[in-house]
Amino acid sequence: MFPWLAFGHILPFLQLAKIMAKKGHKISFVSTPRNIDRLPQLPPSLITFVKLPLPPVDGLPTTAEATSDLEIHAVSYLKRAYDLLQQPLAGFLRSSRPDWILFDYVPFWLPGVARDLGIPTAYFSIFLAGALGFLGPPSVLIDGGDYRKKPEDFTVAPNWVDFPTTVAYTYYDIKNTFDCVEDDASGVNDLIRIGLSARNCDVVTVRSCSEFDSDWLRLLDNIYEKPVLPVGQLPPPPPAAEADPTAWGSIKEWLDEQGSGSVVYVAFGSEAKPSQDQLTELALGIENSGLPFFWVLRTRRGESDPDEIELPPGFEERTRGRGIVCTSWAPQLRILGHDSVGGFLTHSGWSSVVEALSLRRALILLTFYSDQGINARVLEERELGYCIPRDESDGSFTRDSVAESLRVVMVSEEGKIYRDRAKEMSGLFGDRGRQSRYVDNLLAHLLNNE
C-alpha cells in the first residue's frame, strides 16, 4: 500500500490494510519515516511498515512529511518530493515482489513502474464515488477536454451524469479548489494525476458501498471502462485504551456532566484551518447558540505557518463551563461516542463523516476546499447534513447563521430529520460485518486476477 502523504489518505489506507491483514493477507505499508512513526502502534505481525526517506526539495521544510505540516501553498513541493520516491519504491518492489499494489492518486507514475515489474495495480480512491464521477472520465482529466473552463461551470452536474442529482460544487467551494486544475510547483496538477491513475491501473477501488452510492458507482463503471469495486465505508473499530487515559478521563468527566445529546462537537480535521474572520464568526456563533460544545481547534498548519489564528477576546471566559476549546489532539471517536454528544460541526471530510454516522451523530457542515464541497452536497441531497448558509460568491458566513444552524440541527423540530436520518444511517455505516464483506469481494477479485 502506497498512500499520499496526507493523514486523510494514510488513515483510510491503514484501516483497509488492517482489515485485509486480519483476513490473512500480508501487507507492506509504504510511507515516510515520520508519518509511520505518527501512526497508531499495531501488533508487529499484522502489517510491515516500510520507511522511504523523503528526498530534499527546495521550498519544503526538512521536518515536513505530511500535508498537515505545511501551509496549503507549499503542498505542491511535497508532491515534488513524493514523486522523487519513484526509484526507491521501484527498488523495494523489485526485492519484495508483491502480488498487488494499492496506490493513491498522487503517484500517477506507479502503474508504469509496476507494469515493468509484472505487478498489477489497484487505484484506491479515498474520494467518494460521487466526487470521482463529478470530475469525469480520464480522457477529460488528462487531455484537458473538459468543457468546464470557469468556476461557474462546476456549479451544475456535468453532462456525463445520466441520473437526476443536485450534487455539484457551490461557487465558493470550487473557487477555493480551482487551483487544482492549474499546474502547480510539482509540474502535474491533481486532475491529471487522478486521470492517469484511473486510466493506467488494473482496477479502481473506492471507499463506498452500493447501498449508499449505487448510481455513482454505476457511472464510474461506464466512464472508467474497467472494474470499479467499492471497499465499503471502512468504519473505525471501537477505540482501544488511550495512551494517555488521564486526558480522556478529564474530557469524559466534563461530558458526563452534560445532558444527553446536548453537546456540539466541533472539529475540522488535521488540515482545514479557518481564516481569522471565519474563526471569529464561528466562535461568536457557537457562543450565541447557547449550546454546550467541545471544540478541537487547529490554529496553525504546521510549524512553518506564520498566520496563527486567535479566538475573539473574552470568548473562553464567557463560555467557561459551557464549552471546552482543545488546541491539542483529542480522542475524536471516544468523544463522538459519548452519549452527551448530539451533533458534529465538521468540514465534511469523509473519515469524520463515517465516524459520526456510524455513531448516530447529526451533521452540521462547513466546507473549506478539495472534495469537501462535493461530500457536503452528497450529504445534503440525502438529508444527512445541514450546510451552514453562506454567501454564494465568497463563502462568507455570519455568527447568526452559525448559531441558527446549530440550533436547527441540535434542538429544533425542523432539524429532527437530520437527527433521525443519522440514526437510520448508523445501521449501514456502523455495520462492520456488512462493510467488511466489501473487502472480501475486493480480495476475491485480486486473488482471481493476480
Task: Please report, for the domain that includes residue 109, its CATH number.
Answer: 3.40.50.2000
41 against 383, higher pLDDT: 383
Q: pTM of the prediction? A: 0.94
Q: Per-residue pLDDT averaged across 354-369, rounded?
A: 95
Are 206 and 76 found together in one domain? yes
- 30 in any annotated domain: yes
Are 318 and 443 found together in one domain? no
Region of 144 (left: φ > 0; alpha: ψ -120 to 50; beta: rest) is left
- What does the pLDDT read at residue 44? 76
- 306 in any annotated domain: yes
Are 440 and 425 found together in one domain? no
Quick: pLDDT tens for 222-234.
Answer: 999 999 999 999 9
Q: From residue 404, how far is each of 283, 315, 316, 366 by CA, in Å?
A: 13, 19, 20, 14
| Number of residues written out for the chain | 450
- 401 in any annotated domain: yes
Q: How far apart are CA 126 and CA 8, in angstroms?
A: 8
Are 257 and 177 found together in one domain? no
Are 197 and 49 found together in one domain? yes
Q: Kindly tell me if the per-residue pLDDT of 180 is higher than 60.
A: no
Are 164 and 299 found together in one domain? no
Q: Is 41 exposed, middle or buried (0-12, 13-18, 19+ CB in 10 A)?
A: exposed
Q: 175-184 long-range CB contacts below 8 Å, 24 or more apart?
A: 175/151, 175/394, 175/395, 176/368, 176/369, 176/373, 176/395, 177/369, 177/370, 177/373, 178/151, 180/370, 184/76, 184/79
Are 169 and 56 found together in one domain? yes
Q: Per-residue pLDDT averaged across 52-68, rounded?
A: 94
* Residue 246 half-sphere exposure toward CB, CA atoms < 13 A: 0
Are 374 and 435 found together in one domain? no
Are 67 and 214 found together in one domain? yes
Are 104 and 31 found together in one domain? yes
Are 206 and 267 found together in one domain? no
- What does the pLDDT read at residue 276? 94
- 94 in any annotated domain: yes
Are 80 and 220 found together in one domain? yes
pLDDT, mean over the chain: 93
Asked whether the CA dihedral 396, 400, 406, 408 is positive or negative, the reply is negative
- 240 in any annotated domain: no
Q: Kindly tell me if the per-residue pLDDT of 242 is higher than 70.
A: no
Q: How far apart are CA 87 and CA 400, in angstroms?
A: 53
The domain of 379 spans: 245-429
- 98 in any annotated domain: yes
Domain count, the chain: 2
- Spell 261-292 as b/e; 16+ CB within 10 A means b: bbbbbbbbbbbbbbeeebbbbbbbbbbebebb
- Judged by average pLDDT, the poorest of 100-109, 182-191, 340-349 is 182-191
- 2 in any annotated domain: no
Q: Which residues contact 177 (CB under 8 A, 6 or more apart)?
A: 169, 369, 370, 373
